[in-house]
Amino acid sequence: MKLALILNVIDPQIGGVMIMGDRGTGKSTTIRAIADLLPEIIVAQDDMFNSHPSDYELMSDVVKNRLEEGQSIQTIPIKVPMIDLPLGATEDRVCGTIDIEKALTEGIKTFEPGLLAKANRGILYVDEVNLLDDHLVDILLDSAASGWNTVEREGISVRHPARFVLVGSGNPEEGELRPQLLDRFGMHAEIRTVKDPSSRVKIVEQRSKFDSNPYNCLEEFEKQQEELKNRIIKAQKQLSDVTIDYDLRVKISEVCGKLDVDGLRGDIVTNRAAKAFAAYENKEHVEVNDIKQVITLCLRHRLRKDPLESVDSGLKVSQVVESVFNLDELH
């Protein structure tokens, strides 16, 4: 789970993470903690879409127009937005709608941004995503894939950037997500309750320690947190220089073919994730081991399965990976 989140932060185009697991296993805690590992971002001041001051792909039309008119853009640093999407959210709240107050008091049509606008260049978290309305999940996945949100409402037409890492969590006991929606998430992590008594005791002790004095606890781990933060920033910068050999790309596609994975999303995401992992490990070339570390996270939710079965635990993927990436074959 932690690795999947870190890799999506290094390369948001991996396509988000779906985290399914038992209740009380710290899913939400881990997801909310990832925001603290991210460096501050520079945004255009007084802009409702967290627009980038110089990158056109991450900029709203208002900022673009101001730039084209030769105006200077004031900037401010902000923390990476971490937006929670509540289960009861309406489509208008998610996408944005007409500002009713301004329409009534001033008689002008203006756009009131939704959660997708606030999440631009940040993280959008949906707890219990398997209980969210399917059409809302569709909207989220479409925006996450295209990086844009288009709103057509009562004579208003607005298109704004919506680049975010989509993170969903849920408990499989409450129902699985539809396969075609599940396939749109880049990675899938499965969390099981720890069975080892000594590990459980360690978790309980850490939790009690944090409850009794949170500040001391934060101080204790500050150095490790800073190291991880710097490692992520370095990997983000190095990502564009990482290469993956043709024969390894062929092997990834061979694994997807043998597992009968529908479509090509599995191939694309595995290639991206392997590069992100190599950058995280401070390498310039993807190696077999990098692929092995990420491929189960990328493929386990894409396998065709019996309707009565839950998502593959990863055993099937591991077996095929071992047979295809036979080390003797590579040497």
Residue 69 CB-density burial (10 A; 0-12 exposed, 13-18 middle, 19+ buried): exposed
Distance CA 260, CA 304 (A): 7
Q: Does the active-site annotation cover 300?
A: no
- Using alpha carbons only, what angle is made at residue 228 by residues 225 and 229, rounded to the nearest 5 degrees? 85
Distance CA 195, CA 62 (A): 54
Q: What is the DSSP letter of 172?
A: G
Distance CA 245, CA 125 (A): 34
CA distances from residue 46 to 7, 60, 291 in whole angstroms, order as listed: 31, 12, 43
Which residue out of 163, 184, 265, 272 is catalytically annotated? 265
Collapsing DSSP to helix, strand or coil, 330 comes out as: helix
190: β partners? 20
CA proximity to 122, closest of 85, 163, 168: 163
CA distances from residue 132 to 5, 48, 67, 149, 239 in whole angstroms, order as listed: 21, 26, 39, 19, 34
Residue tagged 């704004």 (tokens): 160
Catalytic residue IDs = 265
